[in-house]
Amino acid sequence: MASPAPKKDRAPFNREVLQWARKRVRLSPDSAAQVAGVTPDHIDRWEAGTSVPTIKQARKLAHVYDVPFMEFLSKERPKIKELGLVPDFRLHSDIEAPTEQYDLLLIQAEAEETRLNALDLYDILGIEPPILDEKFYWGLEKSAEAAGTAVREMLKLPMDEQYSRKANDKAKFISAFRNYLERAGMITMKNSGLAAFGARGMSLFASPLPVLIFSKEAPAAQAFTLAHELGHVVLKQSGISGPIGSAPSKTHARRVEDWCDAFAGAFLMPKDEVVRVLGPAPLRPEKAIDDGRIATAANAFCVSRHAALVRLVELGYVDERFYWQAKRPQFLEQEKNFKGGGRPEYYGSRFRSSRGDLYTGLVLEAWSNGMITNHNAAEFMGIKNISHLDDIRNHFTS
């Protein structure tokens, strides 16, 4: 009779560290099992110490929990930074998805890592990162209208960047807008994953190099989102942002979002320029405004019709009830059903869009000057295939 095959030795993973790592990323056992591709019973037994994961399973958990694989072998809880989600300003009443906090934490962690990498690259290149002037920052008690005007002047963003764009060129304003933000010292990123949770943007305030993230929206809507997240930076307030104009309330979160919406409107559609396009506002707001005038304003300033109407309500062109009762439900339905224009054809353009020119340029400059290796450049860019580096560089320089 053949002797039974010897059992494979299992690594002595620390059950307490396995549990700590899961809780660190705000995952329930059921949600962790779903993301890791195992059963909840596996997670329970591993954390109870009645069973041990295989090396392959542990590596998968390390990826899911965003910790180094070797930490599972530690005899005590690792000294790794505890993750805390930035303030949530979405103000939604929907039931939270099982892995929502986890997924949002990963988006935030990627942005934080990008910022730290950028600071490392500035150091490698021997360049001081740009720092925003203190005059850039305003308080919540200050006028959002005045702040929008002042910050636009500081960024030196000319109105012609919006006015000069023909109908088929309006979508390119978002690229120009990002360039002005990044020249001033702000990282801009695109992460379509935010849209799954009713978030249109996220801001991480830090100095230097605050990070602004926008999601999957029509390009004209992205401009307003970036301006809104810029408002968060101006307030020195990190956060996750929800739809434009959520239900009125007196909470601090609502005050912040209202201020940032008003800031974005003033920044992208200065009052004097709106008068130039549409003429003066009536002595009393009209009960309604036709779609043609809304479209005229939206096209002139390269913003969505939703953002344009919100601004026209602020400036007294139309009664706010027209927005809330007649138009807002339509706009929200259109935004909910937006599918996007598909992925860019080339890997380099996809990366450039997701990380922005400031960060991409830093990596390419350090790599091209021989200050970092091919492997280092690929790590900074978060890619596994080193052959993609040339594609990224060729797209960037063109």
Per-residue CA distances from 48 to 15, 51, 53, 132, 280 (Å) = 6, 8, 12, 50, 70
Higher-scoring residue by pLDDT: 257, 246? 257
Dihedral pair phi/psi, residue 281, rounded to 5°: -70, 150
pLDDT digits (tens, 9 = 90+) for 373-382: 999 999 998 8
Beta carbons within 8 Å of 275's beta carbon, 6+ residues apart: 281
Instruction: Compute the average pLDDT of residues 153-181.
Output: 92
60, pLDDT greater than 90: yes
Higher-scoring residue by pLDDT: 303, 394? 303
- Give residue 9's pLDDT: 61
Q: What is d(CA 195, CA 215) in angstroms, rounded to the nearest whole number? A: 6
Question: How high is the mean pLDDT of the chain?
Answer: 90
- Give residue 387's pLDDT: 80
136, pLDDT greater than 80: yes
pLDDT band at 340 (very low <50, low <70, confident <90, very high): low
- Give residue 5's pLDDT: 47
- Give residue 385's pLDDT: 81
Q: What is d(CA 59, CA 160) in angstroms, rounded to the nearest whole number? A: 52
pLDDT band at 93 (very low <50, low <70, confident <90, very high): very low
pLDDT digits (tens, 9 = 90+) for 96-113: 677 898 999 999 999 999
pLDDT digits (tens, 9 = 90+) for 175-195: 999 999 999 999 999 999 999
Which amino acid would we find at residue 157? Answer: L
Higher-scoring residue by pLDDT: 92, 379? 379
- Give residue 91's pLDDT: 65
- Give residue 42's pLDDT: 96
Domain at 15-73, CATH class: mainly alpha
Q: What is d(CA 255, CA 240) in angstroms, rounded to the nearest whole number? A: 14
Q: What is d(CA 117, CA 124) in angstroms, rounded to the nearest whole number? A: 10
Instruction: Compute the average pLDDT of residues 374-396.
Output: 86
- Give residue 98's pLDDT: 78
Extents of the domains making up the chain:
15-73, 104-111+130-335, 343-397
pLDDT digits (tens, 9 = 90+) for 298-339: 999 999 999 999 999 999 999 999 999 999 999 989 888 887
Residue 304 DSSP symbol: -
- Give residue 371's pLDDT: 97
DSSP three-state, residue 213: strand
Alpha-helical segments (H) within the chain = 15-24, 29-36, 40-48, 55-65, 100-125, 144-155, 160-163, 173-184, 219-234, 252-268, 271-278, 291-301, 305-314, 320-321, 328-336, 347-355, 357-368, 374-381, 388-397
Listed ranges 83-87, 138-142, 169-173, 197-201; the one with the highest mean pLDDT: 138-142
